[in-house]
Amino acid sequence: MEFIDLKAQYRHLKASVDARIQAVLDHGQYILGPEVRELEERLAERTGAKHCITCASGTDALLLALLALEIQPGNEVITAPFTFFATGEMIALAGAVPVFVDIDPATYNIDPAKIEAAITPRTRAIMPVSLYGQPAEMDSINAIADRHKLAVIEDAAQSFGALYKGRHSGNLSTIGCTSFFPSKPLGCYGDGGACFTNDDGLATAIIELRNHGQDRRYHHTRIGINGRMDTIQAAVLLAKLEVFDDELLARNETADRYSALLKGLIETPKIATHSTSAWAQYTIEVDGRGAVEDAMRTAGVPTAVHYPTSLHLQPVFEKLSRAHGWTEGSFPHSERASARVLSLPMHPYQTPADANLVSAALQAALRSNAEPSK
């Protein structure tokens, strides 16, 4: 069993993916070729955002958003400590200070009720993460940002395809950033990402920043990066987009199947009634995670931990944490989650038989964990 079966997906999509890639090989416009523009149009249309600007990765999307907003050294950006490293990393790389706010343990997303206490005169933006595929509580976050004149950057790397009150994740804030890393809900065959915005000025800034800050060829008005999406990756995404809605349905079916099988055994993931999830991960919490992981592996079921260390406890943020007085215990919900979460195999081509195997392996693992050791 695979944790995410990308080969099963390719077998399903082979004809259209191959044809799309072959078209790029035939026209030879590998950098910013016509597929890139076509993809941006399709993604903007899908999310309802006025602008979609593709880029080389989800990480670059976050950096481009921060650069476009002219986040400066010394500025503070509020985010959750329970996320993939890139969220905090790009805030720091832009020269700003990541300021962590604990999560709501029900959804694993930043707790809006705790944001205002973290705002200072140096705060410029809030960067909520829509973790595991479920949008953060964006209306509350946007209202706080409006009151304090802050920008909001949604890290929608895991939530492309999800809805929040009927609106699309990625198009819920000043700038939304997503990732097309192969294992994300919409993945390419390499690295890729995108920014979404309804602001013309920010869109222009991102378009220029991803291409060395050029407003026209060899005329540089900003310090940017080489952050363009490869045309071949855009071609792959155009083929995958054709089945993306079917895949989202299949992911939801996989999640529903797990939740039905695991009900009563563990707490199953909670999705707010006004949201849908893109189910980047199906993540539960267990006691004695190490032993459960080992037992599952022995039973042939791959699992993963997203993420084992809260960002304020990462070695590189030691100095930052010391300056803010953050220690173990400062973000209890984030730390508890990082010690207990376990993600189960999740992809659109999973069979009901595989879900049964996962569930049986988990039950056995939890049972042997609960027995007193001999």
Ligand X SMILES: *Cc1c(COP(=O)(O)O)cnc(C)c1O
**Cα gap 284→300, rounded to integer Å:** 18
The residue range among 8-16, 79-87, 93-101, 291-299 that interacts with ligand X, by the rule CB under 6 A, is: 79-87
Cα 245 from Cα 41, distance rounded (Å)? 17
List phi, psi (to 5°) of 27: -85, -25
Please state, in angstroms and rounded to a whole number, the distance separating the CA atoms of residues 29 and 32.
7
> Of these, 75, 83, 197, 254, which contacts ligand X (CB under 6 A)?
83
94: Cα separation from own chain's centroid: 19
Residue 310 touching ligand X (CB under 6 A): no
Under rule CB under 6 A, residue 193 binds ligand X? yes
Q: Does 304 help bind ligand X (rule: CB under 6 A)? A: no
Does residue 137 interact with ligand X by CB under 6 A?
no
Identity of the residue, 137 or 155, whose beta carbon is nearer to ligand X in the bound complex = 155
Q: For this structure, is 240 an active site residue?
A: no
- Residue in the shown chain whose Cβ atom is closest to ligand X: 58
Q: State the Cα torsion 207-213-214-220 to the nearest 10°.
A: 160
Mask of contacts with ligand X, 46-65, x by CB under 6 A? Answer: -----------xxx------
Please tell me whether residue 157 binds ligand X under the rule CB under 6 A.
yes
Question: Per rule CB under 6 A, is residue 196 in the interface with ligand X?
Answer: no
Q: Residue 181, interface with ligand X (CB under 6 A)?
A: yes
Judged by CB under 6 A, the stretch of 70-78, 81-89, 116-124, 164-172 that binds ligand X is 81-89
Give the integer Cα–Cα distance in Å for 244 and 189. 15
Q: Tell whether residue 134 is a contact of ligand X (CB under 6 A).
A: no
Residues in the chain: 374
* 277 contact partners, CB below 8 Å, separation of at least 6: 132, 133, 134, 159, 162, 252, 255, 269, 271
Q: Is residue 87 near ligand X by the rule CB under 6 A? A: yes
Q: What is the DSSP letter of 150?
A: -
Which of positions 208-227 make contact with ligand X (CB under 6 A)? Answer: none
Decide whether 130 or 359 has the Cβ nearer to ligand X. Answer: 130
155 near ligand X (CB under 6 A): yes
Q: How far, in Å, CA of 117 to CA of 134, rounded? A: 24
Output phi, psi for 130, to 5 deg: -95, 80
- Interface residues toward ligand X, by CB under 6 A: 57-59, 83-84, 86-87, 129, 155, 157-158, 179, 181, 191, 193
Annotated catalytic sites, by residue? 184
